[in-house]
Chains A and B, each alone.
Chain A
Amino acid sequence: MNHHNNNQTTPSSPLHSTLPLPHRPIADILTDAPRFLFFTGKGGVGKTSIACATALALADSGRQTLLVSTDPASNLDQVLGLELARTPRPVPSAPTLSALNINPAAAAAAYRERIIGPMRGLLPEPTLREMEEQLSGACTMEIAAFDEFTEFLAADGADAATHAHIVFDTAPTGHTLRLMALSQAWTGFLNHNTSGQSCLGPLAGLEKQRSLYSTAVDVLKDHTQTRVILVSRPQPAALREARRTAQELENLAISNQCLAINGWFTPTHPDDDVSAKWAEKQSRAIATSKEFLASKPLYLAPLLSDNLVGLDILRAFFRSTTNNIQNGTPPSNPSNPSNPSNPSNPSNPSNPSNPSNPSDLAEELAASGRGVILTMGKGGVGKTTIAAALALALAERGANVLLSTTDPAAHLQDALNGETGTLQIERIDPQAETEAYTREVLASQPDNLDPEAKALIEEDLRSPCTTEIAVFRAFARTVAHGDNGFVVLDTAPTGHTLLLLDATQAYHRELGRQSRSPHHEEAIANLLPRLRDPAFTRILLVTLAETTPVREAADLQDDLRRAGIEPQSWIINQSLADLTTADPILAARSRSESKHIQEILQNHSRRKVYAVDWSPLEPIGRHALLHLIHHHNTTTTNQANQEPT
Chain B
Amino acid sequence: MITVSLFDPPMCCSTGVCGPVLDPTLLRITEMLQQIKSLGATVERYNLAQQPAEFARNPEVKRILNDEGTTALPLIFINGELVLKGRYPGETERTALLQRIQNTSPSDPQ
Residues of A within 8 A of B (CB): 115-116, 118-119, 122-124, 126-127, 130-131, 133-135, 137, 139-140, 195, 197-199, 201-202, 441, 444-445, 449-450, 452-453, 456-457, 460-461, 463, 465-466, 468-469, 472-473, 507, 510-511, 514, 517, 519-521, 524
Residues of B within 8 A of A (CB): 9-15, 17-24, 27, 30-31, 34-35, 38, 45, 47-53, 55-56, 62, 65-66, 69-70
Measured between beta carbons, the chain B residues less than 8 angstroms from A126 are 69-70
A-B contact pairs, 20 of them (CB 8 A): A115-B50, A118-B52, A119-B56, A123-B55, A126-B70, A130-B48, A134-B48, A195-B14, A197-B14, A198-B13, A199-B12, A199-B18, A452-B34, A456-B15, A457-B27, A466-B18, A468-B18, A469-B17, A469-B20, A472-B20
Pairwise interchain contact B49-A460, C-beta atoms closer than 8 A: no
Pairwise interchain contact B10-A131, C-beta atoms closer than 8 A: yes
The CA of A119 and the CA of B54, in the complex, are separated in Å by 10
The CA of A465 and the CA of B9, in the complex, are separated in Å by 19
The CA of A198 and the CA of B21, in the complex, are separated in Å by 18
Name the residue on B nearest A195 (C-beta): B14
Interchain pairs with CB closer than 8 A, number: 124
Measured between beta carbons, the chain B residues less than 8 angstroms from A453 are 27, 30-31, 34
User: Which 6 residue pairs of A and B lie closest in terms of their CB atoms, listed nearest first?
Assistant: A134-B10, A453-B31, A122-B56, A507-B20, A201-B50, A134-B49
Which residue, B13, B23, B35, B65, has most C-beta atoms of chain A within 10 A?
Answer: B13
Pairwise interchain contact B30-A123, C-beta atoms closer than 8 A: no
Pairwise interchain contact B21-A519, C-beta atoms closer than 8 A: yes
Name the residue on B nearest A448 (C-beta): B31
The CA of A97 and the CA of B10, in the complex, are separated in Å by 41
Q: Which of A124, A457, A519 contacts B15 (CB 8 A)?
A: A457
Q: A115-B52, A134-B49, A468-B18 are in contact. List 11 more A-B contacts (CB 8 A).
A: A115-B50, A134-B11, A139-B18, A199-B13, A441-B17, A444-B22, A453-B30, A456-B30, A456-B34, A460-B15, A510-B19
Measured between beta carbons, the chain A residues less than 8 angstroms from B49 are 115, 131, 134-135
The CA of A287 and the CA of B79, in the complex, are separated in Å by 74
Nearest chain B CB to A193's CB is how many angstroms away?
11
Name the residue on B nearest A527 (C-beta): B20
Pairwise interchain contact B12-A465, C-beta atoms closer than 8 A: yes
The CA of A521 and the CA of B18, in the complex, are separated in Å by 15
Nearest chain A CB to B60's CB is how many angstroms away?
14
The CA of A299 and the CA of B45, in the complex, are separated in Å by 55
Q: Which of A133, A201, A520 contacts B10 (CB 8 A)?
A: A133
The CA of A463 and the CA of B48, in the complex, are separated in Å by 19
Nearest chain A CB to B52's CB is how many angstroms away?
5
Nearest chain A CB to B15's CB is how many angstroms away?
4
Measured between beta carbons, the chain B residues less than 8 angstroms from A449 are 31
Nearest chain B CB to A190's CB is how many angstroms away?
14
Name the residue on B nearest A466 (C-beta): B18
Pairwise interchain contact A457-B22, C-beta atoms closer than 8 A: no
Pairwise interchain contact A463-B50, C-beta atoms closer than 8 A: no
Name the residue on A nearest B29 (C-beta): A453
Measured between beta carbons, the chain A residues less than 8 angstroms from B51 are 201-202
Do A202 and B34 form a contact, CB below 8 Å, given A130-B70, A460-B17, A463-B13? Answer: no
Do A517 and B34 form a contact, CB below 8 Å, given A130-B9, A135-B49? Answer: no
The CA of A310 and the CA of B20, in the complex, are separated in Å by 43
Nearest chain A CB to B14's CB is how many angstroms away?
5
Measured between beta carbons, the chain B residues less than 8 angstroms from A197 are 13-14, 45, 47
Pairwise interchain contact B12-A123, C-beta atoms closer than 8 A: no
Measured between beta carbons, the chain B residues less than 8 angstroms from A134 are 10-12, 48-49
